[in-house]
């Protein structure tokens, strides 16, 4: 059974003048360990789709199940817990908290349930090492380069061993060298942990690294 199933997904935005349909009858299946790139022109609904898959937005029609769970059937508290443990996010802008150190930023997902456990701290240190920043553990984001900050964001997204990692233009603000480094980490680390990865990107180079590449056009994949 597929670990991620999207069935006849639709999304509408209603304005005073009209109803704008962004996604229509969209279907997708993914298994653990797979990665996928989604490409398409600006404004075609790629980020909207990613936000729905990440449960940050709700579909108008259709269904999403992750590991057999329909997250949109959960109450607010259960949904927040599900999202924190099952889904990781990497955005174009790293969204690190400037007043927190590297390790504190990576530990943010573990802080949702109180003080991080010793196991979570060890996990954070290992991920920071995996992304090549062991010597930056106590640095603040302002003391890091753009590429380093994005690598911290990748480590943070993986802290709770999510089933699904979503990346929205993760290399959009990076130079060529950092794009390559972040891309290597995005494809290597989730696969090692048998997670699924979906990347939305304008970069043909990054999309070409994925096992599958789908184009979002005319509201469908």
DSSP string covering 174-217: --HHHHHHHHHHHHHHHHHTT-EEEEE-S-HHHHHTSSEEEE-B
Residue with tokens 């999510």: 162
pLDDT at 171: 84
Would 221 be classed as within a structural domain?
no
Interacting residues of 28 by C-beta distance below 8 A, sequence separation 6+: 4, 5, 6, 9, 214, 221
pLDDT at 2: 62
d(CA 167, CA 210): 12
Question: If 0-12 CB within 10 Å is exposed, 13-18 middle and 19+ buried, where does residue 32 land?
Answer: middle
Containing structural domain, residue 67: 4-215
Would 57 be classed as within a structural domain?
yes
pLDDT at 218: 86
d(CA 3, CA 198): 13
Tens digits of per-residue pLDDT, 144-187? 998 899 999 999 999 999 999 999 988 888 888 888 888 888 89
Token code pair at residue 88: 């990781």
pLDDT at 20: 84
Phi and psi angles of residue 149, each rounded to the nearest 5 degrees, phi first = -60, -40
Show the DSSP H helices in 45-112 as ranges.
46-53, 76-86, 102-106, 108-111
Give strand pairing partners of 165: 88, 197
Would 85 be classed as within a structural domain?
yes
Residues in the chain: 221
Would 220 be classed as within a structural domain?
no
pTM for this one? 0.91
Residue with tokens 């935005």: 13
pLDDT at 114: 82
Please give the tally of structural domains in the chain: 1
Would 155 be classed as within a structural domain?
yes
pLDDT at 34: 94
CATH number, residue 52: 3.40.50.300
Would 100 be classed as within a structural domain?
yes
Token code pair at residue 80: 């927040």
pLDDT at 124: 95
Would 53 be classed as within a structural domain?
yes
Give strand pairing partners of 30: 4
Residues of the chain with pLDDT under 50: none
Would 190 be classed as within a structural domain?
yes
Helix or strand (DSSP H, E) at 121: helix 118-130
């Amino acid at each position: 059974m597929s670990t991620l199933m999207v069935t006849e997904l639709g999304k509408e935005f209603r304005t005073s003048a009209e109803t704008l349909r962004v996604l229509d009858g969209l279907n997708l299946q993914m298994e653990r360990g797979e990665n996928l790139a989604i490409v398409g022109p600006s404004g075609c609904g790629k980020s909207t789709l990613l936000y729905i898959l990440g449960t940050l937005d709700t579909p108008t029609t259709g269904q999403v199940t992750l590991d057999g769970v329909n997250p949109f059937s959960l109450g607010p508290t259960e949904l927040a817990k599900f999202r924190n443990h099952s889904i990781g996010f990497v955005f174009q802008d790293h969204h690190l908290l400037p007043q927190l150190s590297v390790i504190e930023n990576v530990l943010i997902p573990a802080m949702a349930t109180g003080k991080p456990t010793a196991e979570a701290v060890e996990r954070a240190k290992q991920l920071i090492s995996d992304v090549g920043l062991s010597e930056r553990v106590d640095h603040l984001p302002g003391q890091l380069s753009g590429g380093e900050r994005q690598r911290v964001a990748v480590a943070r997204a993986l802290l709770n061993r999510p089933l699904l990692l979503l990346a929205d233009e993760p290399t959009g603000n990076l130079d060529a060298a950092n794009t390559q480094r972040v891309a290597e980490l995005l494809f290597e680390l989730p696969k090692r942990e048998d997670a699924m990865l979906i990347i939305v990107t304008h970069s043909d180079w990054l999309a070409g690294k994925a096992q599958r590449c789908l184009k979002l056009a005319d509201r469908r994949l």
